[in-house]
Structure 1
Amino acid sequence: MTPYRGIFVSDLDGTLLRDGRISPEDLDAFATLGNHGILRVVATGRALHSAEACLPDGFPADYLVLSTGNQVVHWGTREVLRSSRLLADEIQAICLALRGLDLSFMVHDDFPGNRGFAFSRGRKRVEDFERRLTLYAAHGREMSGCPGMDAASQVLAIVDAEDEGMHALLAREFAGLSVIRATSPLDDRSVWIEIFAAGVSKAKGVRDIVDRHGLQETLIAAIGNDHNDRDMLDMAHVPFKIGNSFLGDDTYITAPNTSDAVARAIAHYMELLQADAERS
């Protein structure tokens, strides 16, 4: 294993990827990390095929933490290091609960076919659900009852912003699973409630990489902008949030809400690494 002297983790949508593009400044800064022996990780809610669609060929990352931590992939080889899944009894219980609450939701197939999904509409029309359904229409199939699936990669319920309390309700209902809130990347307002197997999170995905390389004593920096980044930021020694993000926590270092926010966070992190080296 390459001896790394640090780890830098970036969220993708709304952080590294802004308005559909990665700025030249952020791209250059991410590339430069490799020259300084820093392990580079992108942690995203996107699945692999979706991340590949927006990351340029040869993007300078070492690992991707995908689907909010549900899968960890070595970027250069696309080797899957870990995948988690919901099992048949868990799928049935989640499906029954979401139907009982009259929610609109999608059950995504197990890896590697997780682009496919079964969906169910609640009586209340949720525009963001319909938006996502239209976007991925080729991969969806409507279900009349609970799907007879042996395994699923995740379940996604979508609710309007005024129904955000549904996340807390489902987190209590399924306390043994990972129930993670995210803000819709489609309208920047609606609430996505992602239900995964126990232990899934961006932080857990990063820890898997740390353990793989024996870097438990290494300084970790992370930057994000949404609720599903919070566990990752809380585990980092140097946590950054994008200015004007969905995160209001003042314990995080604020990176300005500009196209080079990640580059500025990287510069700050490198200064801290240098200071640590000089003290050693």
Structure 2
Amino acid sequence: MIKLVAFDVDGTLRDRDYLPDSTRAALQKLKERGVALALCTGRSEYEMESLRKELGIDWAITCNGSHIGYRGKTVFGSAFPKDTVRRWLEEAERLKHTFLLYGSELMFMNREEDPHFRQSQREIGFMEPVTLPSPEEVPDIYQCIVFCEEHEEGVYTGGRKDAYYIHRWRPWAVDINPTGMNKAVGLRKLMDHLGLQPEEVAAFGDGHNDFEMIELAGSGIAMGNGSDELKAKARYVTRTLQDGGIAYAVDQWILPA
């Protein structure tokens, strides 16, 4: 019996501002049957607050698994060492790179303006960040996005990609998370907290940073609009987001009649 369902957000629950009515109805059906729901995303807790409240979802695994919040309050977190973040910001200032820094309550940016950030904002809808006052005032940071080319990221990773969880989602943009983090790590922490086994968990995703989560969940479900690599790892492949893929999967495999 499924007791927890985790949802990637972009390309899974919604496409920018479009969230199908069938998805809303499916989430309500799950809640009425006592199934716990969690967002599981590379975005920050700050960015997910309005969606989480709108959908009545208590749990949010954010920053690719580095932060877990319950109704917006931190329950678990794996932050970067602050000295590491300060060093990165010094290098970014020298190289004129822009960093997005994900805290538990706010999203910060080290530069007031950046064309790559604006492009990604148009494409996937980032909220407006707060300008970081100074490197000395860095709060706990659970994920960074660096707007740089792949050959430049070694300045921040030391050339050791195994030292961090790295997800490059544009030629000019890369997520960096603390060592050993990914969505599955965050989901496993939540499962342990709730006393659940993999066979009691379903997870929906569409992209490369969903690989580990889809493999962990007993019912890993790839969206029809997802990547072929993810579909190969999933237990089930549902319809596309636009064609009511979540509602179809809920009726077929999670809450069958």
The TM tier, using the shorter chain, reads 0.7 to 0.9
Q: Is 2:149 the partner of 1:177?
A: no
The residue identity in structure 1 corresponding to 2:233 is T
Match among 137, 140, 146 for residue 157 of structure 1? 146
C-alpha contact (below 8 Å) 2:167/2:175 kept by paired residues? yes
SS in 2 for 1:131: helix
C-alpha distance after superposition, 1:17-57 (max 9, x if no partner) = 12412211111111111232322111122222321234553
TM-score for both structures, normalised by structure 2: 0.78
Alignment match, 1:270: 254
**Cα distance in 1 between the residues matched to 2:249 and 2:96:** 39
C-alpha contact (below 8 Å) 1:103/1:157 kept by paired residues? no
Match among 139, 142, 145 for residue 130 of structure 2? 139
Match among 64, 81, 85 for residue 91 of structure 1? 85
Count of residue pairs the alignment pairs up? 249
Residue pairs, 1:14-93, within 5 angstroms: 14-55=11-52, 57=54, 59-75=55-71, 78-93=72-87
Specify which structure has the higher proportion of helix. Answer: 2
Q: Is 2:238 the partner of 1:251?
A: no
Alignment match, 2:215: 234
C-alpha distance after superposition, 1:46-104 (max 9, x if no partner) = 222321234553x24231112222221123xx33211221113322454567678x573
Gaps of at least 5 residues in structure 2 are: none
C-alpha contact (below 8 Å) 1:225/1:247 kept by paired residues? no
C-alpha distance after superposition, 1:201-249 (max 9, x if no partner) = 2112211111111112642211111122112112112212222324534
Q: Is 2:201 the partner of 1:210?
A: no
Alignment match, 1:278: none
C-alpha contact (below 8 Å) 1:241/1:254 kept by paired residues? yes
SS in 2 for 1:198: coil
Shift of residue 9 of structure 1?
1.1
Residues 95 and 137 of structure 1, relative CA distance in 2, 3 Å threshold: same
Alignment match, 1:186: none
Percent pairwise identity: 18
C-alpha contact (below 8 Å) 2:198/2:217 kept by paired residues? no
**Cα distance in 1 between the residues matched to 2:250 and 2:39:** 13
**Cα distance in 2 between the residues matched to 1:229 and 1:238:** 13
**Cα distance in 1 between the residues matched to 2:136 and 2:195:** 41
Residue pairs, 1:188-203, within 5 angstroms: 192-203=173-184
Gaps of at least 5 residues in structure 1 are: 184-188, 275-280
